[in-house]
Amino acid sequence: MNTHGVRGGLKVESYCDTPQVLASLPQLFLEKNGIYEAHKVTKASVGGGRVLLFFADVTDLDGALRFKGKTVYARREDIPLADGAYFIADLIGLPMTDADTGRVYGEIVSVDDMPSSRMYTVKTPDGKEVLFPEIKEFIDRVDVDAGVFVRPIPGFFEEETL
């Protein structure tokens, strides 16, 4: 985040699906020493892919400066999800399973946005980490209760032979 103007405005980069989602939230939180303090959003707009927002308790540049470079957080229940949508965080710890054979390739340990596609890091049973791209041809379905079901091309999870 960065400041905007002298009336306490904040320019915020959104990690939501769209900046409009962040702009619609009634409050955001700032973490300080493990405690999340709530800040009521009084005004928010979207421009240039970023969100310009104002908090009720931040009315000048000095007040806004304490937010510069910080990350703000939202409550899960405040973020609207369409049917079938899920939070990326809900994928961590899920098994990655072959959609056709039922073979479990490993556990998803991270999900990262890359320029070409989102990448899953899968820890295999033998402790190796494999990067798996989120490409529609490879992903059969995502079920946050059961796992991510895939159809990988040969070589993604094959055992090495000498």
Show pLDDT as tens, one digit a residue, over the chain (162 residues).
788 888 889 999 988 888 999 999 999 999 988 999 999 999 999 988 899 999 999 999 999 998 899 999 999 999 988 888 889 999 999 999 999 999 999 999 999 988 888 999 999 999 999 999 999 999 999 999 999 999 998 888 875 444
Long-range contacts, stretch 123-132, CB < 8 angstroms, 24+ apart: 124/157, 130/105, 130/106, 130/156, 130/157, 132/96, 132/156
Is the CATH number of domain 2-78 2.40.30.60? yes
Q: Are 124 and 157 in contact (CB under 8 A)?
A: yes
- Fold match, 2-78 / 88-150: no
pTM of this structure: 0.73
Q: What is 88-150's CATH superfamily? A: PRC-barrel domain (2.30.30.240)
Q: Are 31 and 87 in contact (CB under 8 A)?
A: no
Tokens describing residue 55: 């908090």
Is the sign of the CA dihedral 129, 133, 136, 83 positive or negative? positive
DSSP secondary structure of 21-53: HHHT-SEEEEEETTEEEEEEEEEEEEETTEEEE
Domain ranges of the chain: 2-78, 88-150
Pick the closest to residue 106 from 118, 115, 97, 117 (CA basis). Answer: 97
